[in-house]
Amino acid sequence: MTEPGERRRTGAQILWEALHREGVEIVFGYPGGAIMPAYDALLDSPIRHVLVRHEQGAAHMADGYARASGKVGVAIATSGPGATNLVTGIATAMLDSVPIVCITGQVSSHVIGTDAFQETDITGVTLPITKHNYLVTRVDQIAAAVREAFYVARSGRPGPVLIDITKDAQQATAVPAWSDAPVCLRGYRPEHRARQGDLARAAAMIDAAKRPVILAGHGIVKACASELLGEFVERTGAPVASTLLGLGGFPASHRLALGMMGMHGEAWVNQAIQEADLLVALGMRFDDRVTGNPATFAVGARKIHCELDPAEINKTVRVDLALVGDVKATLRGLLPLVASAERRGWIDRIAALKGDSAVRDIQHLPHHGRLFAAHVLHDLWRITEGKALIVSDVGQHQMWEAQYYKHDYPRQLLTSGGLGTMGFALPAAIGARFAMPELEIWVIAGDGGFQMTACELSTAAQEGIKLNIAIINNGYLGMVRQWQEFFYDGRYSATPLRSPDFVKLAEAHGLTGLRVTRREDVAAAVAAARATPGAVVIDFRVEQEDSVYPMVPAGAALHDMIRRPSPIVE
Ligand SMILES: Cc1ncc(C[n+]2csc(CCOP(=O)(O)OP(=O)(O)O)c2C)c(N)n1
């Protein structure tokens, strides 16, 4: 509808106004030819722009902003190489169901299909890694495309949406027609609600169970269902295992919190899942890193799957009952139906399993004066009282973080779980910083992954933002080295890694760099980083050939874990 007094504007101006109307306050991007009209109009918009150093960083920043805030993150880039540089970030957001909107410039509509300068069919390229995408070739389509894109990104199971806008559509003028009517898209029905009869069946299964385990996933965090989950756990007395992305959705310090499950989950958690007679899966999708071999996964357990996306039901693990709908609404419906229970025998059994598995625990690492990654993460957790927002990269350090930093709060661990994208952490943390100006933020990255997006140190320096960056530097592409040690006869093919001097690299950006080689110096460096304004990089030189334990080899049964040799072999 054209509002009274509405004036004629360019497509570029309409774009920024449409974003503003969606509540966008900040975008992350990089200019270029096909998006220049939009960048020109940006100067007259109240929306803040953060200039990244590589478009992958823009997508990860939008993603980190979205994960930390629960809002939609926005990235913007030019056509061709600018657009293709976004691809890894879009795929990362897709696999972790993160709502972002990416805007790309496209060559003018009359040259589309001619291999024009910087032409890439980015809607074709991103078709399988976006929830939806748009090619906009006319100025009068821009406002509606933005409105729909935000609706699609945040409704139902969230995800990335791309809007590709031709240069001529940005330059043409129109009187914009705004709409406040609810978006209605043919064939897209994102809302589901579990049936009352199924809720009652689920409650009966829960009441009848002797050895239930709740599997809490990312959906708990996204649906802001932590409090309800707490009530549900108190009522049912069922212990909670978390997926990597579910960490913090249920407080690690709770007596019924078991910890992380899966490939590098705690041994007692995996064992408890294998011994369970009922699994209640809440907002998780039975990823292969979580189940191990699905044929041997919790074979004695009945399974209830509470999940928003019907496509996830029976995808890898067959379940006895599916409750399709928002997990918060499902929990709210279940709560009055389930009986109060204690299940002491089951909790005692898990406690016994815990004792047996504690050999890996930090307390049991002998002190040789050597610095282990686990020391760094345990000390960081202690010093920050578990209250920092952690953005971890991908590799061994990511798993040690999940094991040793105990998360009590939702949205305080951001990590690339589904795609496992090295280079995610630094840019995602920059995005999270803009979403959470007050929170203490730590990046935990390996020496390999850090170098994939280290250029974004420049962005952090230009923006003058406070970040603490811990590089867990083991001189290897550690996780791959570990697999080579375990499964390829220790043949280290392309995993030894030489890095720049990270202290000097920080200094070259006008930032502070510190180096730690001994455990006794960890606390002082952490304190110095916290007290120093701006971004600080700490190069933690850790044990080079340590491995993450326990480990369920890919495709093995969940109870078939490789345990840490004890005592640690010299
Ligand atoms: C973009 C990308 N390329 C390759 C991989 C495969 N990969 C997974 S972990 C890993 C090693 C990571 O090394 P580093 O960043 O040093 O961390 P560490 O494992 O040593 O803690 C690699 C290469 C990946 N996950 N992402």
Same domain, 401 and 304: no
pLDDT band at 430 (very low <50, low <70, confident <90, very high): very high
Ligand 1 contact via 397 beta carbon (within 6 Å): yes
If one compares 361 and 211, the residue with the highest pLDDT of the two is 211
* Average pLDDT of the residues of the chain: 95
Instruction: pLDDT band for 568, please (50, 70, 90 cuts).
Output: low
Q: Using one digit for the tens of pLDDT, what is the confidence trace for 11-40?
A: 999 999 999 999 999 999 999 999 999 999
pLDDT tens-digit profile of 513-555?
Answer: 999 999 999 999 999 999 999 999 999 999 999 999 999 999 9
Rounded to the nearest angstrom, the gap between the alpha carbon of residue 196 and the centroid of all alpha carbons in its chain is 32
Give residue 356's pLDDT: 63
Is 447 a pocket residue for ligand 1 (Cβ < 6 Å)? yes
One domain, residues 205 and 158 = no
In this structure, the residue with its CA closest to atom 18 of ligand 1 is 478
Q: In this structure, are residues 86 and 76 in contact, taking their beta carbons and an 8 Å threshold?
A: no
Q: Name the pLDDT band for 569 (thresholds 50, 70, 90).
A: very low
β-pairing verdict for 73-77 and 467-473: unpaired
Q: Token pair 């990244």 is at which residue?
A: 52
- Asked if 32 contacts 118 with a C-beta cutoff of 8 angstroms, the reply is yes
**Co-location of 201 and 293 in the same domain:** yes
Q: How many residues does the chain have?
A: 570
Distance CA 164, CA 181 (A): 24
User: Are 422 and 528 contained in the same domain?
Assistant: yes
561 domain-assigned = no
Residue 567: the pLDDT is: 53
- 121 and 231 inside one domain: no
pLDDT at 370: 86
- The residue contributing the CA closest to ligand 1 atom 24 is 422
Strands of the sheet containing 535-541, edge to edge, are 413-415, 389-392, 441-446, 467-473, 535-541, 512-516
425 lines ligand 1 (CB under 6 A): no
pLDDT of residue 565: 76
Residue having the nearest C-alpha atom to atom 5 of ligand 1: 422
pLDDT at 437: 97
Same domain, 222 and 307: yes
Q: Nearest Cα to 250, choosing from 280, 270, 276, 228?
A: 228
Q: Which residue type sits at 174?
A: A
User: Percentage of the chain surpassing pLDDT 90?
Assistant: 92
Nearest atom in ligand 1 to the alpha carbon of residue 400 is: 21
Q: Are 200 and 332 in a shared domain?
A: yes
Please tell me the distance between residue 264's alpha carbon and the centre of ligand 1 in angstroms.
Answer: 15
Q: What is the pLDDT of residues 139-179, one digit of tens each?
A: 999 999 999 999 999 999 999 999 999 999 999 999 999 99
Per-residue confidence band for 357, with pLDDT thresholds at 50, 70 and 90? low
Average pLDDT over residues 401-406: 96
Q: Between the CA atoms of 258, 259, 265 and 266, what dihedral angle is there, to the nearest 10 degrees?
A: -50
Distance of CA 455 from the midpoint of ligand 1 (Å): 17
For the sheet with 212-216, list strands across it: 257-260, 240-242, 212-216, 278-282, 302-307, 321-324
Residue 443 β-bridge partners: 391, 469
Residue whose CA lies nearest to ligand 1 atom number 4: 422
Pair 13, 129 in one domain: yes
Q: pLDDT-based confidence at 358, cuts 50/70/90?
A: low
Task: Give the E-state strand segments of 352-488 in sequence order.
Answer: 389-392, 413-415, 441-446, 467-473
Please check whether residue 34 lies inside any domain of the structure.
Answer: yes
Which distant-in-sequence residues (6+ apart) come within 8 Å of 561 by Cβ? 267, 270, 550, 551, 552
Domain contains 377: yes
The tens digit of pLDDT for each residue in 316-332 reads: 999 999 999 999 999 99
Mean pLDDT of 80-90: 98
Q: Could you give the angle at the alpha carbon of 519 between the alpha carbons of 513 and 520, nearest 5°? A: 90
According to DSSP, the β-strands at 73-77 and 100-106 are: parallel
> Does residue 211 sit in the same domain as residue 308?
yes
Higher pLDDT, 498 or 5: 498
Query: Is 437 a member of any domain?
Result: yes
- Residues 281 and 424 both lie in one domain: no
For residues 497 and 435, membership in a common domain is answered with yes
CATH of the domain at 85: 3.40.50.970
What is the value of pTM for the model shown? 0.97
Among 174, 209, 241, which residue terminates a domain? 174
Q: Which long-range contacts (CB under 8 A, 24 or more apart) does 39-44 make?
A: 40/12, 41/10, 41/12, 41/13, 41/15, 41/16, 41/170, 42/16, 44/13, 44/16
How many structural domains comprise the chain? 3
**Whether the Cβ atoms of residue 127 and residue 133 lie closer than 8 Å to each other:** yes
DSSP-derived pairing of the beta strands 9-10 and 173-174: antiparallel
Q: Is the CB of 421 under 6 A from ligand 1?
A: yes
Residue 355, pLDDT score = 77
Measure 417 CA to ligand 1 centroid, in angstroms: 13
Q: Which atom of ligand 1 is nearest to the CA of 451?
A: 15
Ligand 1 near 417 CB (within 6 A): no
What does the alpha-carbon distance between residue 536 and residue 437 come to, in Å, rounded to a whole number?
16
* pLDDT of the residue at 1: 63
The pick from 87, 394, 399, 476 for probing ligand 1's pocket by mutation, whose C-beta has the most ligand atoms within 8 angstroms, reads: 394
Residue 156, ligand 1, Cβ within 6 A = no
For residue 29, CA distances in Å to 24, 78, 342, 423, 456 come to 14, 9, 52, 17, 12
**Cα–Cα distance for residue pair 131/124, rounded to 1 Å:** 13
Residues 105 and 206 in one domain: no
Mean pLDDT value of segment 81-97: 98
CB within 8 A of 164, min separation 6: which ones? Answer: 79, 83, 104, 105, 106, 122, 123, 133, 134, 135, 136
Please state, as a whole number, how many other Cβ atoms lie within 10 Å of the Cβ of residue 549.
19
Tokens representing residue 254 in the block: 């709770």
Q: What is the pLDDT of residues 258-317, one digit of tens each?
A: 999 999 998 999 999 999 999 999 999 999 999 999 999 999 999 999 999 999 999 999
Query: So which residues are the catalytic ones?
Result: 55, 117-118, 167, 479
CATH (domain of 350): 3.40.50.1220
Please report whether residue 23 resides in a domain: yes
Could you tell me if residue 2 is inside a domain? no
Residue 160 in domain: yes
Residue 299 tokens, joined: 């074979």
Say yes or no to pLDDT of 190 above 90.
yes
- pLDDT mean over 390-410: 97
Asked if residue 15 belongs to a domain, the reply is: yes
Is 362's pLDDT higher than 80?
A: no
Query: Which pLDDT belongs to residue 570?
Result: 41
Task: Identify the domain containing residue 348 by its residue range.
Answer: 196-354
Helix boundaries (H) for 209-287: 218-222, 226-236, 267-275
Q: Which ligand 1 atom sits closest to the C-alpha of 422?
A: 26
Torsion angle, alpha carbons of 205, 207, 210, 214, to 10: 70
